[in-house]
Structure 1
Amino acid sequence: MPALPARPAALSSRPVRWLRRNFVVLAGLATLAYLVLPNVIVTVFSFNKPNGRFNYEWQRFSTDAWTDPCGVADLCGSLSLSLQIAVWATVGATVLGTALAFALARYRFRARSSVSTLIFLPMAMPEVVMAASLATLFLNMGVTFGFWTILIAHITFCLSFVVTAVKARVMSMDPRLEQAAQDLYATPLQTFLRVTLPIAAPGIAAGALLSFALSFDDFIITNFNAGSTVTFPMFVWGSAQRGTPVQINVIGTAMFAIAVLCVLAGQLIGGRRKRS
């Protein structure tokens, strides 16, 4: 039999070569689509008008939930409470975590390695263990569960994430920049405000944003230390047992849109700074 021509074989190998060359990009796009798909479903069902209590099947298009996002009792109250706790937990964890990160990165003292290990324990241990430990501590101290116990628990939980982000940024800083500022007769306060703090700002901002996200959507630690206080994640969990109102999808879609806009704004600002 005559030999097959080599050209069709070369043509058939082109898709294989293209797939090998773009496999990483395709895998990344598939992973991104997998991560974004739940948010797309939440957004779509925020425009649904279900016949019953559960918003699990598409019935008909409606914007009633968007025009009245607080139509469900206690929904906006729990959302406001979660935002307050997240803001104050972010402030507390950022201030304490930044100071601790500078201390661990810049100074040598006794038990430094032990402190570093203890800082990373909340990130390594299961969240339910930390939640139960904090609840036991508050019970032994006779503290009434409520807003302040949730806030203290969230600051404790978010602290290690801030320390990790800020410490990595501080350790990558060039100490000669601060020495140059001191050679130019800058005071320690001026050196910190004009040299050290601007360089460490990206790490501090990353730790603060991570703290806000962790505090806002936390359920396990909040459930153990909330008492009768109801935050937004606890409201969603309780509503899912009786029926899922469409307004929950509206709040979730709005939070997702705000997060995307913040990321895009950060990318635009960073791109303009690089070009300038």
Structure 2
Amino acid sequence: MSEAEVLTDAQDGVLVITLNRPKAKNAVNKATAEAVSAALDRLESDDSLRVGIITGAGGTFCSGMDLKAFVTGEMPMVEGHGFAGLVERTLSKPLIAAVEGYALAGGFEVAISCDLIVAAEDGQFGIPEVKRGLAAAAGGLVKLPKQVPPRLAMELALTGDFISAARAAEIGLINSVVAPGTALEAAKTLAAKIAANGPLAVARSKQVIAAAQDWSTEEMFDRQNAVLKDVLTSEDAIEGATAFAEKRAPVWKGK
């Protein structure tokens, strides 16, 4: 993994993944995609890591695909994981997008592939691919209608217009809007709250919420219970209850 493309930093159970191509507005090329994929492999495999954050260097989250690389035939994808090594991937651990500046095209699709989004007030979001004769095929057309009202998704996809962080929060696309320059710190605060909780319970809760939108009313509790049964009988469940009774912080085992 090239440090020039992506930086990683692990502290207190949180892995921060930074797109590090500020001169290119953190546009994703093949090397960046592979580096992000490797960082996410680390997040998934390391039991000491509970939450991931993805952000961008230089005041921009990500401007999307590196078009200069694209016209030479380079595709910024990883087999099985899609654009940026992320958008077609299902992670067991939560991933937070910390957005400063632009999250456009593939950058927008990276953000909406995360579980939570924190954005600076000057953040701008959009899928302007149609303005370049392209389509938002890295998740914008299929994920966005599940995250905002379909007509709003249609408008963004067909016009290519940008929306502000305030508007994104208004339509429920992002979790919080913070002062410029503080998105990463706000994301770390959110990540710390998640990392303090039972890792098995967090993983299964994330799994249910992600899948439940496709479950019918008739089947939803049976399918939920199938996912959660090992949580209710886990060592962590006993530890959580014991720690509460003893007025101390729980010591999680993740099992």
Common topology (TM > 0.5):
no
Normalised by the length of structure 1, the TM-score is 0.21
Normalised by the length of structure 2, the TM-score is 0.22
Higher relative contact order (CA 8 A, sep 6+): 1
Larger radius of gyration: 1
Q: Which structure is higher in strand share?
A: 2
